[in-house]
Amino acid sequence: MCLIVIGWRRHPDYPLVLAANRDEFYARPTAIAARWPGASQVMGGLGLEAGGTWLGITETGRFAAITNVREPHMEKGRYSRGQLTRDFLLSDSSAAHYAQQIDGKQYSGFNLLLGDGASLIYCSNRDGEPRSLPPGIYGLSNHCLDSPWPKLMQARESFSRALQDMPREGKFFNLLADQSIVADKNLPKTGVSLAWERLLSTVFVQSESYGTRASTVLWQGSDGTIRLHEKSFGPYGHPIQSSVISTSLRHCT
């Protein structure tokens, strides 16, 4: 996933709100967000090659999402990054404990958000030690937390306004659909060609072979309601299908 904006305890009625785009090659097999086979308490998409996920939440309020770090010339890690999110969602470890036991050397560059209901942890194998995040609005793309990339800064501003309209989701999907290309002088330099920097500068990425595969709005209410709404896309941003999952928080016994 290449863009995540998350509101953590910034709304009195919705302690967790997230808007995210997952960018990937269209040829990579993927299942849209659903309850997982054999683990129906987990809701999220699935990568059908390595069996991991980019974003998911459980009925007990465990949450995980990941982005890669754009480093085109680095050697590929031993394990799939999607396993990090999957394994956390299937575990009962606290977010802080789980983050501490990750061997970052085994993975390509990643940024990982982990929530266990009590805390939100950010960890990355390119950005120091794991840390607990205080209430706020945070953004991740393919660099460190809150890196001042133009599309991420704009998305955070739009997210702040959309948060005031909760539980309406339209403004969140509007911000995720933004196709504005950043001026060359403001583009980050991440080791890819200028043409790719331009392509990847938009919030919603589209081309023939690579682009935004899924746009997701996820929230949890203070009354225990959990809602995950995902829209999937094909080449050139062609809409494919959508998935809506609504449930209630189930407390562990």
Instruction: Please state the domain extents for the chain.
Output: 3-248
Residues 141, 152 contacting (CB under 8 angstroms): yes
Looking at residue 74, what is its pLDDT?
A: 85
The whole-number mean pLDDT for each consecutive block of 10 residues of the chain, a chain of 253 residues, reads: 93 98 95 95 93 95 95 89 97 97 96 96 96 98 94 96 97 97 93 93 96 98 97 97 95 61
User: CATH homologous superfamily for 3-248?
Assistant: Penicillin V Acylase; Chain A (3.60.60.10)
Contacts of 60 (CB under 8 A, 6+ apart): 41, 117, 249, 250, 251, 252
Eight-state DSSP code of residue 104: G
29/81 Cα distance (integer angstroms)? 16
